[in-house]
Amino acid sequence: MASETTRRLRLPHGRTADLVPACGVLLLVAVGSAAALIRNSAEPWPMTVLGWLLIVASCGALSFRRRYPVAVALLVLAGTAAYYLTSEYDGPLMIALIVALYSVAAQGGLQAAVAIAAVAVIGVGVGTLAGNQEINGVTLFMLTGWLVAMVALGTMRFRQFAYAEEKARRRATEERLRIARELHDVVGHNISLINVQAGAALHRLNKHPEQAEDALAAIKKSSREALRELRTTLGVLRQVDDEVPTRPAPGLARLDELVASAKSAGLDVTVHNRGRPRALPAAADLAAFRIVQESLTNVTRHARGATAVEVRIGFGTRQLSLTIEDDGDTTGAWDRKSRSDSTGGSGIAGMRERAATLGGELSAGPGPSGGFFVRARIPYES
């Protein structure tokens, strides 16, 4: 079949990528030098053998140009100089030096490449002034242009690679932060509820054992939910081909689950909608859900004396507005660490990053009449 017999050509890599260019330059130089040898055979054979040894050594050194670019360029420069000083034939060995200079610049050695190119131009210029009939001013000018062009191309190549590496590194960093924020939001909410319910069950176990049963049931439900969310997130990270999940993705459609979980922790949560509800983009829907989830988690963990939380959702024409406000003690509302922006992707800092990623904004602080508030604005189109 055509799909089995047709193979896509691949660029060489590894040691092959080093040997192929070196062999190609050697072949090109050998053909040019052989033509000169055929036209003029006045040179003694020992000098001819020495010239070919210099050609092979200079071209063979190019196979190490990626490992030792500057050392190879210096070796090629020395071999090229020795060849043109001892040989009667004007072979194209200068091609090897041009390739070596390109490799130095492509590896980031711009200053070294410029210095080696300057030495080569000065050496050829001295030879021209010394009476070399093969080289004139026009040839020297063209050679300088070739060397400058190779150094410039190599520098451009190096900057392209540096930009690509920086872009990939930035993407990896952003992805790590996203994963850390997602895991924090997924697991932190349920673990916080488990902690609160465990404390309640421990407190009621001796005095009111019948009430501890409800707390233990809530712990079981929260732990099961945390395990399911964690498995789902890890499955996405592994990119396994499991069955398509039937449970809805996190979004405002699942806001009732958050309200139920918060109520099991002793909070009276009320939700008010303003405007006409609409279908939200997946990114905005997820961000809104996580902001409400994190806010309720922080109330559960940090708000002193909070018994009620009010969630207000506004569906505007171009953006979604969220307000989460509790009735806790203002002096003790959410500890200093949770309100700090130095939490590295969790707490308020993580919520602010979510909103900013979509072109929105988030603010938080003590409320005017007590408690703590979180206000977010999330555009529909980021």
> Per residue in 305-316, pLDDT tens?
788 899 999 998
Tell me the pTM. 0.48
Residue at 348 is within a domain: yes
Q: pLDDT per residue over 204-242, tens digit each?
A: 677 766 666 676 777 777 777 777 777 766 665 655 444
Average pLDDT along the chain = 76
**Does residue 323 carry a pLDDT above 80?**
yes
Q: Are 293 and 185 in contact (CB under 8 A)?
A: yes
Residue 24 zone, left/alpha/beta (φ > 0; ψ -120 to 50; rest)? alpha
Asked if residue 270 belongs to a domain, the reply is yes
DSSP-derived 3-state class of residue 161: helix
C-alpha distance from residue 190 to each of 249, 294, 297 (Å): 17, 10, 8
Within a domain: residue 284?
Answer: yes
Q: Is 341's pLDDT higher than 60?
A: no
User: At which of 135, 154, 189 does a domain end?
Assistant: 135
Q: Provide the CATH number for the domain around residue 275.
A: 3.30.565.10
Q: Would 331 be classed as within a structural domain?
A: yes
**Total residues belonging to the chain:** 382
Q: Per the domain annotation, does 160 fall within a domain? A: no
Reduce the DSSP state of residue 359 to 3 states and report it: coil
In this predicted structure, the answer to whether residue 373 has a pLDDT above a threshold of 80 is yes
Residue 374 lies in a domain: yes
Range of the domain at 272: 252-382
Query: Residue 108 — pLDDT band, cuts 50, 70, 90?
Result: confident
Q: What is the mean pLDDT of residues 341-348?
A: 51
Is residue 362 domain-resident? yes
* Segments of the chain assigned E as strands: 268-274, 308-315, 319-326, 361-366, 372-379
Please give the torsion angle defined by the CA atoms of residues 144, 82, 21 and 163, in that order, rounded to the nearest 10 degrees.
-50
The lowest-confidence range among 14-18, 177-181, 332-336 is 332-336
For the residues of 56-119, what is the DSSP string, one character each? HHHHHHGGGTTTSHHHHHHHHHHHHHHHHHH-SS--STHHHHHHHHHHHHHTT-HHHHHHHHHH
Give the model confidence (pLDDT) of 325-340 as tens digits: 988 775 544 444 444 4
Grade residue 139 by pLDDT with cuts at 50, 70 and 90: low
% of the chain at pLDDT higher than 70: 75
- How far, in Å, are 203, 207, 219 from residue 210 at the CA level? 12, 9, 15
Q: What is the dihedral of CA 292, 298, 304, 305, to 10 degrees?
A: 30
pLDDT digits (tens, 9 = 90+) for 111-137: 888 888 888 888 777 766 665 555 656
CA distances from 32 to 36, 92, 106, 112, 326 (A): 7, 6, 27, 29, 85
Domain end among 120, 135, 150: 135
Residue 218 lies in a domain: no
DSSP, collapsed to helix, strand or coil, labels residue 266 as coil
> Which of 135, 164, 193 represents a domain boundary (last residue)?
135
Q: What beta strand segments (E) does 246-355 contain?
A: 268-274, 308-315, 319-326
The pLDDT of residue 134 is: 59
> How many structural domains compose the chain?
2
CA 369 to mean position of chain CA atoms: 44
Residue 15 is predicted with a pLDDT of: 66
Mean pLDDT, range 356-363, rounded to an integer: 90
